Structure 1
């Protein structure tokens, strides 16, 4: 086993701790979503449309970090189940919007508050001040990691 300098060891430790914490919190979210009979990508699309309104199909994938082929599959499934409709853009034939139906809106309005409570519970190991600190630090970490990819 190779010996790393202290900074590298610390970076590796941070990565392991961050990964485990993310996995644990995510598991709360995934279990809740599954309990409502949805896949996490379906929930993500419904949540996006609920909070942001109609969205061009071409932008949904980047908004919820999903590959474009997967977006088509999820949109097709949600449309088949009556949760969303496709709406052509009146000004640009190349653009099609995803829009919540009344059925989709009723579902997300019913389950999102319950989901939010699950997330609140999952991160309740930190007090309000610690959460704000974690938000600042994780944002800083993520932005710098993204910058270094370029």
Structure 2
């Protein structure tokens, strides 16, 4: 995989089976995300991250932007932009928190719930066709258990919202 001219700084290469699993996972996720993105844009005019935001808000009264950021893997500025786009489309509302001046509360609107209802059947069909039909019930159980352990292991790291913001470098 790497040639003799690549210096890895003493880092040991993964085993071939680890590399195979990693690249199979990343390729499968990329392919699935591509098809999901196409379906969401075609049926609801929303992106995958916008769908994730709407799904996080569906069934709850409201969440803070930080709560959404900790659940949706997206940059802070990107999430703020996506929430603004959803607000502009009338799918969510945003307002300052009365309890914390630093927090912004986000709530899904009736139009946002209708959009979820519109795209969810197609989303389910795409994931069923591309993911669930490719694996047995036992495989799906193992995949779910494995990915839950990986997710939980990764989430043991501090949440992205707790990471310090980088200060812009000043040009001299």
Is the TM-score greater than 0.5?
Answer: yes
* TM-score bracket for this pair, using the shorter chain length: 0.7 to 0.9
- Of the three residues 74, 82, 95, the one matched with 1:66 is 74
Greater share of helix residues, 1 or 2?
A: 1
Q: 1:21 to 1:10 in 2, by over 3 A?
A: same
Structure 1 residues without counterparts, runs of 5 or longer: none
1:93 maps to: 101
Number of residue pairs matched by the alignment: 147
Q: 1:8 to 1:148 in 2, by over 3 A?
A: farther
Give 1:73-84 correspondences, 5 Å limit.
73-84=81-92
- TM-score scaled by length of structure 1: 0.83
Q: By how many angstroms is 1:143 displaced? A: 4.2
Deviations along 1:10-66, whole A, 9 cap, x unmatched? 111111222222222222211111212112221211111114441101221221111
- Of the three residues 135, 139, 142, the one matched with 2:148 is 139
CA RMSD of aligned residues (A): 2.6
Structure 2 residues without counterparts, runs of 5 or longer: 5-11, 159-172
- TM-score scaled by length of structure 2: 0.73
